[in-house]
Structure 1
Amino acid sequence: MEFEPDIPRWRQVRDVIAQRIAAGVYPPGSRVPSVIQLQAEFGIATSTGQKVIKALRADGLAYTEPGLGSFVSKVPPAAQQ
């Protein structure tokens, strides 16, 4: 993936994951890629991956179960409308 220089990388990666959720690549209840998986796929730092997961939670797209990982929300916000 080529990153846009004027947009924070965490936001660009968050947008990719959000698009995948909307497209059903990651259906409700499935795992969101871990920070380590995000690092491997996008070549980002650990702190950047953590920001991606935090942003997905803040947007209501994902939730985290301590010790288990992060998962796609059962009813993503777009589907609630």
Structure 2
Amino acid sequence: MEFDSSAPIWRQLKDEFTRRIAVGTWAPGAKLPGVRELAADLGVNPNTAQRALSELERDGLCKSERTTGRFVTDDSHAIDTARGELAQAAADVFIARATGVGMQQSRAIALIEQRWMHHDHDPETPTPTVET
């Protein structure tokens, strides 16, 4: 994982862990890797990984079992909420970039619809550059 120097690493880890839960890489009810294992795999301080996991727990996306470790929540509503928040953040980034290049809302919506249909037909195809 590559880190962005403009945001705290724990926050970036929390976002990545949330994404893993939202897309099912870490399935509902699955045991999460331990703090030290995650820290070693990601090349971060264990305290940083611990903070990210604590925030996930605070958000209801995982739970600690005192003797067995942390587990992904099996609360589908919490996972759906996280998925929606990730999609909203992606939409906000897209809107900022589209308006930044002078794109009108109607063109941006048409572009999303076009790309969505293209993705539905062939998700392996690289996204071409779109002129505005």
User: Post-superposition shift, 1:33?
Assistant: 2.1
The unaligned stretches of length 5 or more in structure 2 are 85-132
TM-score (norm 2): 0.57
* Percent identity of equivalent pairs: 36
Q: Which runs of 4+ in 1 moved over 3 A?
A: none
Show the counterpart of 2:75. 75
Show the counterpart of 1:10. 10
The higher-RCO structure (CA 8 Å, 6+ apart) is: 1
Structure 1 CA distance, aligned partners of 2:3 and 2:40? 15
2:37 is equivalent to residue 37 of structure 1 = yes
> Contact 2:14–2:56 at 8 Å: present in 1 too?
yes
> Contact 2:14–2:55 at 8 Å: present in 1 too?
yes
More helix by share: 2
Higher-Rg structure is 2
Q: How many residues align?
A: 81
Residues 4-61 of structure 1, C-alpha deviations (whole Å, 9 max, x = no match): 1111101111111110101111111101221012112211111111101101101110
The unaligned stretches of length 5 or more in structure 1 are none
Structure 1 CA distance, aligned partners of 2:80 and 2:4? 29
C-alpha root-mean-square deviation of aligned residues, in Å?
A: 1.6
